[in-house]
Amino acid sequence: MKFDEVLTEIGEFGPYQKRVYFLATAPAILLAFETLSVVFIFNIPKHRCALPGDWPDTYNPVNDSHNAFLNRSIPLTNGEWDQCHVFNDVSSGNFSFMGNATRSRCSKWVYDHSTFTSTIATDFDVVCERSVYRAGSNMISESGTIVGTFLCGFLADRYGRKVTFYVSGLALMGGGFGIAFTTNFINLNICRFFLGIARMATWINSFVIGMEIVGPSKRTFAGMAIEYIWVAGELLLLLCAYFIRNWRYLEIAVSVPSVGLLFYWWLIPESPRWLASRGREEEALKILQRIADSNQTKLPAVGDTKRLLEADDQGLGFRHVLRSRELVVRTIIVFSNMFVTVMVYYGLTLNITNLSGDIYQNFALNVVLELVAYVSPFLLLDRVGRKPVYCGSMLLAGTSCVFCIVPVLAGSPGWVVSLLSTMGRFFVSIAFAVIYLYGTELFPTMIRTSTMGVGITFARVGNIVSPYLADVGILVGGKFKDALPLLVMGTPAVLVGILSLWLPETLGRELPETMEDVNNTPRKRRWSCWSTQVHNERSVHEKDKISINTDAV
């Protein structure tokens, strides 16, 4: 008897399983805190060069003499004070107050504290030519997620899901507090790198623990429910950020709840699947018995627990993709879409801090639309198909971003670009929720896990690229400052959206089990599976078994 058959027999999502699932996935709230708090704590507010000498300077002039001194010392650029230059007398090296004096770069700044009392950017002067350090710091953090992906997989398979989850949770707590109390930019980035590792390791293990304890027919729900927990974390982060305007206090506030992870060792069990795979029969059967008791069912005789996890992979792996031309084409298309989808999703998220308008309103609008975006797949996937939902959302996301160049050239208000960015993030959130399900249904069972594992690595590389795309507007400045990030993210989104039109529809069709199944796919490509095909029992069972969304942080 296979493990899924046992769960079907004793209950797929009873009280005990629900408790374990929601305890295991609750840290998604903390991961939303640590992932997206960068929008607020790394915000670069309005700033300009500090006045020379010992003048008690503030960003906004406090009186007429302050204003006059300011006008003679700081150049104007597009009607605003230059952020990086002061007037300078070349002959003496002293500051001059003549309008025709040359300019030189400054080394001290004053900031507008009307929105934030302090951010990482203001404390460490991450402005002007140093503004690229913000993208670099975000890249370091996302590099940690790639390390966490590989490290977590190795440790979880060798030492167990529970111990790896617990250690990563402690690292998550330590990294958050480490960032809050760091005193220099280098240590800050070291903490952010290890926090990136902890974020990914915590996410994967919490997700796996939750998914491995529920039955096959409940995994579509369980795979999407964690997305709503993530959105709940976004809303709580917004609430904290609105009332806490100092970045250190905000980081402490979002790190304090992680202390609760200290008690998780006694709250969640080890995955019974992993225990069975390691030959720890008594422990695995004890957990299965708890599930049966909770569901008021009887645990069937399962015999040797190692037989619960019999594999039919016949030793195949990702390298065997090259055996099939059709698989090579699918792999290229799916991987490129995973890369771009994640890149655009996180790029547009980070770009919120650069958009015109109130940062809190922009963030709130994006969160609300993301929540709606996660509802859409439930309503559409089994009605219109995977292909039209994914392709349509990706093309609309890319088009919304690319079209932002029009209001910029037309001189429209800044809120128009912000609206187009929000629309882009809404549609890419739908694509974000669909691509992993759609991708897993395109590959044969024999190599599905290994292929999607490599695809997730490509997606994490998209994370690394996204901070630079989000901040490219800061480097060029001018009227294209808001539009350029959207343009460079929207263009590849349109391209991969068009490329994905080549993929076949999977709705209502048996999932491929072998290489031959893929090679025998009908060559006639259709936009959607609008027919009323009846899902056979194996197709439905397999779809539920694999529809695990592993995108996340």
Kindly report, residue by residue over 268-285, the tens digit of the pLDDT.
Answer: 999 888 888 777 888 888
At residue 269, the pLDDT reads 92
> Alpha-carbon distance 324 to 173, whole Å?
46
> Alpha-carbon distance 144 to 197, whole Å?
5
- Helix (H) / strand (E) element for 111: namely strand 109-111
Domain spanning 314-553: CATH superfamily: MFS general substrate transporter like domains (1.20.1250.20)
* Residue 246 pLDDT > 90: yes
| Choice between 499 and 523, residue whose per-residue pLDDT is larger | 499
pLDDT in tens, 135-152: 899 889 989 988 888 787
Please state the pTM of the whole predicted model. 0.81
Which residues pair with residue 77 across a beta bridge?
A: 80
Helix axes 219-243, 414-440, angle to 10 degrees: 150
At residue 482, the pLDDT reads 76
* Residue 372 pLDDT > 70: yes
| Choice between 536 and 173, residue whose per-residue pLDDT is larger | 173
pLDDT band at 396 (very low <50, low <70, confident <90, very high): very high
Which of 12-26, 116-130, 334-348, 445-459 shows the lowest per-residue confidence on average (mean pLDDT)? 445-459
User: What proportion of the chain, given as a percentage, has pLDDT over 90?
Assistant: 33
| Choice between 378 and 290, residue whose per-residue pLDDT is larger | 290
* Residue 252 pLDDT > 70: yes
Which of 16-30, 146-160, 298-312 shows the lowest per-residue confidence on average (mean pLDDT)? 298-312
At residue 446, the pLDDT reads 64
The class (CATH top level) of 1-44+128-310 is mainly alpha
- Helix (H) / strand (E) element for 225: namely helix 219-243
pLDDT in tens, 501-526: 988 887 767 666 666 677 766 654 44
Read off φ and ψ for residue 401, nearest 5 degrees: -70, -45
Equal fold, 1-44+128-310 vs 314-553: yes
- In this structure, are strands 102-105 and 109-111 parallel, antiparallel, or unpaired? unpaired
At residue 34, the pLDDT reads 92
Side-chain-facing half-sphere of 54: CA atoms under 13 Å: 0
At residue 23, the pLDDT reads 93
Q: What does the domain layout of the chain look like in residue ranges? A: 1-44+128-310, 47-112, 314-553
Query: Rounded mean pLDDT of the chain?
Result: 81
* Strand ranges inside 277-347, DSSP E: none
pLDDT band at 399 (very low <50, low <70, confident <90, very high): very high
pLDDT band at 344 (very low <50, low <70, confident <90, very high): very high
- In this prediction, residues 398-408 reach a mean pLDDT of 88
pLDDT in tens, 170-225: 999 999 999 999 999 999 999 999 999 999 889 888 888 888 888 877 876 777 78
Angle at 259 between CA 256 and CA 263, to 5 degrees: 155
> Alpha-carbon distance 116 to 241, whole Å?
10
Terminal Cα distance for the chain, rounded: 35
DSSP string, 438-484: HHHTTS-GGGHHHHHHHHHHHHHHHHHHHHHHHHHHHHH-GGGTTHH
- In this prediction, residues 528-552 reach a mean pLDDT of 41
At residue 100, the pLDDT reads 54
> Alpha-carbon distance 164 to 261, whole Å?
12
Which residues pair with residue 47 across a beta bridge?
A: 111
| Choice between 93 and 224, residue whose per-residue pLDDT is larger | 224
